[in-house]
Amino acid sequence: MSDVFVSYARADEVHADRVAAALGAAGYDVWSDDQLPAHRAYADVIEEHLKSAGAVVVLWSSESAKSQWVRAEADTARSAGTLVQATVDGSIPPLPFNQIQCANLNGWTGGTDEPGWRKLVESVHSLAGAPRVTEQRQTHRTRARVGVCVLPFQNMSGDAEQEYFSDGISEDITTDLSKISALGVVARNTAFTFKGKSVNVCDLAQELGVTHVLEGSVRKAGGRVRINAQLIDGISGEHVWAERFDRDLEDIFAIQDEISSAIVKALKVKLMPSEREALERRGTTDVAAYKLYLLARQYWTSGNHGDMRREERVMRICARAVEIDPYYAQAWALLANAQSNLRYMFCCEVDDGFAAAHTAMAIDPTIAEARLPMIRRLEERGKHDQADAALSEAVHLGPDSWEVHKEAGRTALFRHDVEAAKRHYEKAVELMESDFHAWGMLATCYRALGDGEKVKRAAEMMVSEAERAVEQDPSNGAALGILAGGHALLGAEETAREWMERAVLIDPDNLVMRYNFACVLAGHLLDADSALNMLEPMMTAATEYQVRVAQTDPDLDAIREMPRFRQMVDRARKRLGLSAPVAAAAS
């Protein structure tokens, strides 16, 4: 029998589906009357499951309070000591149930950190015990729930430079569908691993545990766009819905809305009013600003990490986007982060992103990434408690934000909290598997924690993802550094040294690349002299941020107490006018 029985009024079915899905995701076997078999009496089945359940969750509302069925089920549970109550619209439970504690799920959208949900789950755990769903049943439930994978739309424009546009369309549709609590949507990162590959939809659906797959193509020419989209049943392989949109480019937002609405209709998914509003909400209604933001976003996620030209390019593009649409919050947030990096990573005389970040939050307070420049400013001013509080808020607002988890990982390493850094970098690579830098940082964490098997896995990903980046840009110094580090971790010392030699010939003044090579030599190849030789030119021009990184990076532990390294740091501190040890400022 089931762990949890959910009782609700028919008008509250959307709420019941959300609660059942969340409890199922937590590992509980959940039963509600939508699972009634066709061959047995209604009352007999309900009574059987009601009496055998470890916890009976009753969802109270103005409608359920009037339902004799809900009242009867609640009374049975009260007598058995299995009653767990929640209000979904703020209504107080009717007599005599108003004398019993009741969780508040009014306005709950599925977040597992919200107080009302935590209260409900704690009660379920107390009554039904720890989740006991077997792996086989959990897999079956996951696959039975309506789930969608949005494959990257194919760029049919005949111009590789337009790839950012088709990728952006795919990401936006994924984001739209993710706003619907009744749908399980495969993360963008997972879906993009199939980009450019020929896949069998049924095999893919089974592998990912989804019921449907959306695929399509984008052809943009001049002021026109053609989008083909088809929703495919993951079991039969048949088309559930298909449409071709031949429109002016100005209609791109309407097309995205129509695709999302068509999927919702085809899957017979019920929307909450707040979800319907969220689907209709766009960051901008200006196509020109939207195209610029997608372009900037592509440079931000796939550009050369540690090369200031990436930040400069993103800053210019976003500045133009917000000039076109001053109320484009996402563009303001990305602009703010580019400015922040230029100021604190590269010591450029630009605004530190504080103003742009505040503009973004004034327009949309929910943008987690807009808080990151503020965190960096607080850190630089030594206000670490305030920075930590702001970072916690950013993680809460953006639990699936790649940028937020990268920043959280960086901050944790500065505080020597390797375990926390590991968790955030693991989330970062889950969200963006192509991020070779995050894989490199994850390898550093695993190595510091002594987890050899995971070091090997991270090193393999460092090599594969950095190789892909170098193919696109042979001068990508950050990728070259990670590539050499990956080979060193995998025991291919000669290959690692060959990559380092080649890279220094190509770009001898790339400080980030030199730093990465020093980490490889000191931490992986145990060649202290070569590491110090590689590091010295970098430290003579290092920014305060780069000195701070060198002071706390576990990869440099082997040389940190060497007189030559300490002299480098002292000279850098003196040049930068730092009166206190950088490590103390970062603690």
The predicted pLDDT at position 278 comes to 66
What tokens were used for 554?
A: 């576990």
- Secondary structure element (H or E) that encloses residue 551, with its range: helix 544-552
Parallel, antiparallel or unpaired: strands 55-60 and 4-7: parallel
Look at residue 275 in the predicted model and tell me its pLDDT: 66
CA distance 431 to 421: 15
Lowest average pLDDT, out of 180-184, 302-306, 445-449, 578-582, goes to: 578-582
Confidence of residue 374 (pLDDT cuts 50, 70, 90): very high
36 by DSSP, 3-state: which? coil
Domain 146-282 CATH superfamily = TolB, N-terminal domain (3.40.50.10070)
Encoding tokens for residue 107? 């306005």
Amino acid identity of residue 112, one-letter, is T
**What would the pLDDT profile of 233-289 be if each residue is shown by its tens digit?**
888 888 889 888 888 888 888 888 888 888 888 887 776 666 676 666 678 889 899
pLDDT on residue 408: 94
Q: Is 583 in contact with 551 (CB distance < 8 Å)?
A: yes
What percent of the chain stands above pLDDT 90?
31
pLDDT band at 142 (very low <50, low <70, confident <90, very high): very low
Q: Is 529 left (phi over 0), alpha (psi -120 to 50) or beta?
A: alpha
What's the CA gap between 219 and 217, in Å, rounded? Answer: 7
Please state at what angle helix 477-489 crosses helix 511-519, rounded to 10 degrees.
10
- pLDDT number for residue 580: 52
Domains 146-282 and 286-373 are alike in CATH topology: no
pLDDT at site 320:
96
Can you give 43-92 as a three-state secondary structure string? HHHHHHHHHHCCEEEEEECCCHHHCHHHHHHHHHHHHHCCEEEEECCCCC
pLDDT classification of 405: cutoffs 50, 70, 90: very high
User: Residue holding tokens 């990151």?
Assistant: 372
Question: Structure tokens of 148?
Answer: 């969608």
Domain boundaries, the chain: 4-134, 146-282, 286-373
β-pairing, 212-221 vs 184-185, is unpaired
- Checking if the pLDDT of 470 tops 60, the result is yes
Confidence of residue 579 (pLDDT cuts 50, 70, 90): low
Average pLDDT over residues 87-96: 89
Higher pLDDT, 353 or 432: 353
At 332 the three-state DSSP class reads helix
Range with lowest mean pLDDT among 29-38, 135-144, 236-245, 421-430 = 135-144
Single out the residue of 336, 334, 167, 153 nearest to residue 229, CA to CA.
153
User: How confident is the model at residue 533, as a pLDDT?
Assistant: 92
Any idea which residue has 């709950």 for tokens? 108
- The Cα–Cα gap between 119 and 57 comes to 12
Token pair of 448 as six digits:
């510091």
Q: How many CA atoms lie within 13 A of 512 on its CB side?
A: 17
Q: In Å, what is the CA distance from 61 to each residue of 4, 44, 85, 88?
A: 19, 25, 11, 6
User: With the C-alpha atoms ordered 563, 565, 566, 571, is the resulting torsion angle positive or negative?
Assistant: positive
What's the pLDDT tens digit per position in 407-417? 999 889 888 89
d(CA 375, CA 391): 7
Query: Look-up: residue for tokens 């550009």?
Result: 303
Cα–Cα distance, 486 to 488 (Å, whole number): 5
Confidence of residue 510 (pLDDT cuts 50, 70, 90): confident
Superfamily name with CATH number, domain 4-134: Toll/interleukin-1 receptor homology (TIR) domain (3.40.50.10140)
Per residue in 523-547, pLDDT tens? 888 899 999 999 998 888 887 778 8
C-alpha to C-alpha distance for 210 and 81, rounded to whole angstroms: 37
pLDDT tens for each residue of 1-59:
468 999 988 778 778 878 887 887 777 888 766 554 444 455 666 777 788 888 999 99
Specify whether the CB–CB gap between 478 and 464 falls below 8 A.
no
- CATH among 1.10.287.130, 1.10.630.10, 1.25.40.10, 1.10.260.40 for 286-373: 1.25.40.10
Residue type, 76: T
Tell me the β-bridge partners of 563. Answer: none
